[in-house]
Structure 1
Amino acid sequence: MSENQTKFGVLIKAGLAEVHQRELPEIGDNQVLVKHEACNICTTDYGQWMGLREHQPYPMAGGHEFAGIVVKKGPKVVGDFEAGDRVAVAYSFCGECDPCRHALTSECTQVTNEPTEDGYYGAFGFSEYSIRDGRVLIKMNKELSASEASFLEPLATVVKGLDKLRIKPLETIIVIGAGTMGLVNAQAAKAYGSRVIVTEVMPEKIEVAESMGLEVINAGDCNPVEKVKELTDGKGADAVIIAVGANIANKQAFEMVKKYDARILYFAAGYPAPELKVDSNFIHYRKMELVGTYGADMKDFFTAANLLNKKMVDVSKLVQCTFPLSEIQEAYKAASTPGSYRVSVIL
């Protein structure tokens, strides 16, 4: 396959992924040609494959958690990128609209979900090659595997959430759920100096969390709310990060936090949508903060790159298995299996 052509994975409909081929445009002055090495299958990706996110269009050439190698760059690319550098990719942004000018690049009004000229939607992460604006590329440590470097985007979304949660060193933070993003949240919060306690019911996930040196409550063997109170001398947690979209997680979070000035971060979405049943007076009198988070801005991507490149967050145990692009259908099946960690497509 030449550099001006690429094979890529695409969802034709729910449950059906294929490999297609297309021509790449000429590289622009401010652009970089990237040879993709790996792209991890995100919850959004396999959620659409399972038919749970039918609000997204087809054909979907998705995949946004990817890393690759610089092949060549345009003459006006700013930055010290050289051929052979490993890079991962942040979200596209215009840099000129009001949100971008206020550093809220994830809210850029000029980035739209329009199809390409050949009719595809998505970020083309499951692609052998792509052309990217130089300003959305971040250099990654080559000691990381390509699949590990592909965690830049999910870790950036965690950094965004922790920033909104305003966690401090020595605070006690509860993370509900030891799935991929629960453990990324837990490691990042620990890197920030907090005491982190993870709650989980699945034995396999508890084992992985403990192997990372995390403090874990087996919620299948005890009442996790009572255990949190026991481990905090009856005070409760300073904050809870809900990393699984479930009714019971929403309920437990309110019961785990301290009496006054507690914060709850709603990190995970769930399909069907979880319910939140709470008396607003409860929030009022206890001076609680309920915080939503989604996506990441460029500053979050740079912080995430530092955490990964310096190995302050170790995602090596979160890459469950790999598949070649030719087996992308099987990769989606593996990724959608309950209890799975990240499945990586090698390109």
Structure 2
Amino acid sequence: MAMKVRAAVAHRQKVPLTIETLDLDGPRAGEVLVELKASGLCHSDLSLFDGSRDWTDYPLLPGHEGAGVVLECGAGVTSVKPGDHVIPVAIPECGECPACRSTVTNLCDHYFQPWPRRPFSLDGRPVRAFCELGTFASHIVVRETQVCRIRKDVPLETVCCLACAGATGIGAAAYTARVAPGTTVVVFGLGGIGTNVVDGARICGAARIIGVDTNTAREASSRLAGVTDFINPRQVDDVVGHIREITGGGADYSFECVGSAELWRQAVECTRIGWGMAVMVGVPPSVETVAFRPRSILEGRRIMGSYLGNVKTRTELPQLVEWFVEGKLSLDQLVTHRISLDQINSGFDLLKQGSALRSVIVY
């Protein structure tokens, strides 16, 4: 049964989102209707309408970081039921493909296969939902393989951030790099993603966590998450040399959380010869080319990519919720602004200005 929902829609690049009333088709076999309670604002959503990313499939419903309650299930759905609290996830976990059966990746084969279904429409025209989610709407219809059931006693307006910022950052340290206890970590960029990398490194037992950011306002929040040393690159002549000096030869791990080719070079060079690991978390613009000094790799360093923190979205994400309940995560400090759907463009302005770690829409 179709329903009307309010949503923030992108119609083209370099134009603010507009609030529209969309038609939402009911769940079919293998699908779930979710009433969203909250949705976080992410740079990945911003790139869909600020001109920084090539995208042509409009109208588009952005949003991929949310949490809500299951209202209805289509035929054949067995893993969730009405009333369950869930986090919709960008990467499916079917549990059956070679990737899901492996222990080395979270990139389910179905993630790379087109899903032709378009549950949303505007005036009879299909509307694409980003990541097949579209959490900038009050209700969504998604595949069963894209919802993660969680415990009911956690605040959805906070744990919604685990769907992207939390999984991406915490997972990069805990599941991709598998940071070893007693080691030294450098995090380039201390926004929503970088702050969660700090959380993950601290949970893994890192002895020293060095945060690098040009925004001095990020120092206080990052230290609450676990940063032991803060570096403003504008206040040192050579960031790489400075990190090598204060670590006695380089860090054991580095994480680039901005999406900059130059920072990627620095992230590699600041790690220790022989075993340093640099993890790519940020997404550089498609026009950028990342270049490394050949010997920086020949000297024994490793480069890793991390997509949504290598967290298996339905079976491992609940562990992050448990860490939140146990007080191990700084999610409460991560959510700096709570806004309404009508304030979404102002929320993205805060994100662009660096004034917010995470703004969350509360429905």
Q: Common fold, TM-score beyond 0.5?
A: yes
| Aligned partner of residue 125 in structure 1, secondary structure | coil
**In structure 2, the residue corresponding to 1:151 is in which secondary structure?**
helix
**Structure 2 counterpart of 1:139:** 149
Residue 100 of structure 2 corresponds to residue 120 of structure 1:
no
Rounded to whole Å, the distance in 2 between the matches of 1:87 and 1:235 is 45
Match for residue 172 of structure 1?
A: 184
Secondary structure in 2 aligned to 1:161?
Answer: helix
Instruction: Indicate the residue corresponding to 1:326 in structure 2.
Output: 342
- Contact 1:242/1:265 (8 A) holds in 2: yes
Distance 2:354 2:197 in 1: 20
Go from structure 1 to structure 2 and tell me whether the alpha carbon gap of 1:80 and 1:63 turns closer, same or farther (over 3 Å shift): closer
Displacement, 1:280? 1.6
Structure-2 residue corresponding to 1:229: 244
1: CA distance between counterparts of 2:253 and 2:287? 22
Match of 2:212 in 1: 199
Cα–Cα, structure 1 residues 207 and 158, in superposed 2: closer, same or farther, change >3 Å? closer
Q: What TM-score comes out, normalization by structure 1 length?
A: 0.86
Q: Is the 8 A contact 1:245 1:274 kept in 2?
A: no
Stretches of structure 2 lacking an aligned partner (at least 5 in a row): none
**1:3 Cα deviation (Å)?**
7.7
- Tell me, yes or no, if the aligned pair for 1:29 and 1:77 is still in contact at 8 Å: yes
C-alpha distance 336-178 of structure 1, shift in aligned 2 (>3 A): same
TM-score by length of 2: 0.83
Root-mean-square deviation (Å): 2.9
Matched to 1:305, the amino acid is P
**In structure 1, what is the equivalent of residue 47 of structure 2?**
47
Q: Cα distance, 1:66 vs. partner?
A: 0.6
Aligned equivalents of 1:322 and 1:3: distance in 2? 29
Q: Deviations over 1:68-113 (max 9, x none)?
A: 1222334643236451x32111233555555455565444266316
Residue 277 of structure 1 corresponds to which residue in structure 2? 291
How many Å separate the matches in 2 of 1:56 and 1:235?
46
The answer (yes or no) to whether the contact 1:106–1:297 under 8 Å persists in 2 is: no
Q: Indicate conservation of the 8 Å contact 1:29/1:75, yes or no.
A: yes
Is 1:254 the equivalent of 2:268?
A: yes
Deviation at 1:272, TM superposition (A): 6.4
Answer yes or no: is 1:292 the counterpart of 2:305: yes
Structure 1: how far apart are the matches of 2:42 and 2:115?
A: 18
Q: What's the CA shift string for 1:306-336, capped at 9, x where partnerless?
A: 2233322221222222222233333333333
Deviation at 1:304, TM superposition (A): 3.5
> 2: distance between equivalents of 1:3 and 1:313?
39
Q: Which residue of 1 aligns with 2:35?
A: 35
Change in Cα spacing, 1:221 to 1:48, as seen in structure 2 (3 Å) is same
How far, CA to CA, are the matches of 1:250 and 1:109 in structure 2?
26
Question: Paired residues, what number?
Answer: 343
Deviation (angstroms), 1:297? 5.9
Check whether the contact 1:197–1:217 (CA below 8 A) recurs between aligned residues. yes
Q: Percent identity?
A: 19
